[in-house]
Structure 1
Amino acid sequence: MTKPDVKRRAGRPTADEAEQKRQRLVITALEEFARAGFHAASLRDIAERAEVSSRTLYNHFPDKFALFEACLEYSGRQIQPDIPRLEGDLQRRLTTYAIEMQRQLFDPVHLQIARLIYREGTEFDGLRQIAHTQFERHQVQPVATMLEDEGLPPTTSHHLATQFVAMAFGEWQRRLLFGGGPMSAGEMAGHAALVTSIFLGGIGAAEMNAAG
């Protein structure tokens, strides 16, 4: 006997519809956090702007921290370069990675989110924890993967990747905190090339030579 088609309960969204609402909430919240800050951002306003009910928002995100974490995860995926597309030797790949990351991080929304974390992270410890997790996942780990591909062990790769990222983002961080405007394409390229040269010629040289 052929079973009758099971119809979706009226009013219940499909999986695709639910995901679209979640995505809309995240994008709207990212803009609102960037505009108003973490403390001042209103979940009710975010739901209204995303054209969903507050109940739908809480079905996806139990609290503001969970929503902010989803925003940083989304933002991290947007700014992380596509590692398999990076070509050439390690020096060229690291340089390209540093240029692309700087270019994306100077986006106005990303700058505002970074300022939010610096400004409100001392008040809300959860913000710093979320930001650190996303930093490790989207900025440090891709570099660590490149170094592991060169034969370095995971622990060493992670340690060196953390140092490289700190060097690569140093000028971005300085301008974030003290002003000075975004870097030009030429400034980004020059800074990335210099940092990569110093890194491979000094900090990472011993480990790279040992691995080779």
Structure 2
Amino acid sequence: MGTSEATARATKGGRGARERILRTAVQLFAREGIHATGIAKLTEVAHVSTRTFYQHFPSKEALVSAYVQRIESDSDGPVGVEAILERSDLSARERLLELFADSPPIEEIVRGCPLHNTAVETAGTMPEAAALVERHKRQFTARLVKTAAEAGARDPETLGRQLAVLFEGARALSTSINDSQPYQDVRALAEALINQETGPT
């Protein structure tokens, strides 16, 4: 076997194939959508064979589930902002406020929350992926409730749920109108709710 042929085979498969497929899924699912991105397109862009694809992911749903988990773990991605709630250098009240401090990059506004998009696209067709998204969203709300309690909120359960609605609603509306204004509007609402529950500083 010649060197060029061996290199071509290594590019098509090998230990890096799974990672290439996942990276490709992150790019294509965000840009073109999950259902619009077929296996043929994924394998072509990822430079893997269909056989290699199915060696790593037995079905498209398995890939979508892995995609959701990748999005969750990407600290630089659109879900990474939620990590603000874990920062030890800020007080609980500051963490709640900081969550609403900045608008995301315009490309994230245009594409929307990838987890929300996954839930919409996979509703009724990919229960495992939908369940992963639901788990994440419920855990995010629970983290808000916990942080609200640490901030001394009189009713942390209600405040946490309300902040989750504001956060997710701003994301959805910004995507629908392709404008960051909802993020700017929601900051004042979030601060008013936090002040109402914890007292202004």
Tell me whether the two structures share a fold, i.e. TM-score over 0.5: yes
Match in the other structure for 2:3 = none
* Aligned with 2:189 (options 189, 194, 201): 194
Q: Residues 24 and 42 of structure 2 are in contact (CA less than 8 Å); yes or no, is this contact kept in structure 1?
A: yes
SS in 1 for 2:90: coil
Question: How many Å separate the matches in 2 of 1:88 and 1:105?
Answer: 27
Query: Out of 173, 179, 182, which is 1:182 matched to?
Result: 179
The code of the aligned residue for 2:65 comes to E
Q: How many residues align?
A: 180
- Identical positions, percent: 20
1:21-170 alignment, distance < 5 Å: 21-76=17-72, 77=74, 78-79=77-78, 80-81=80-81, 82-83=83-84, 84-85=86-87, 87-100=89-102, 103=104, 107=108, 108-110=110-112, 114-115=116-117, 117-118=119-120, 120-124=121-125, 126=127, 127-137=129-139, 139-147=140-148, 149-150=150-151, 160-170=159-169
Evaluate the alpha carbon distance shift between residue 32 and residue 171 of structure 1 in structure 2; reply closer, same or farther with a 3 A threshold: same
Q: Is the 8 A contact 2:148 2:156 kept in 1?
A: yes
Structure 1, gaps ≥5 residues long: 1-12
Change (3 A) 1:123 1:174: same
User: TM-score, normalised to structure 1's length?
Assistant: 0.63
Q: Tell me: CA distance 1:25–1:110, structure 2 relative to 1, closer, same or farther (3 Å).
A: farther
- Give the superposition deviation at 1:183: 0.7
Matched to 1:44, the amino acid is A
SS of corresponding position for 1:171: helix
Counterpart of 1:8 in structure 2 is: none
Is contact 2:96-2:144 (8 Å) kept? yes
Q: Which runs of 5+ in 2 are unaligned?
A: 1-9
- Shift, 1:57, TM fit: 2.2
Which residue identity does 1:31 align to in structure 2? Q
Query: TM-score, normalised to structure 2's length?
Result: 0.66
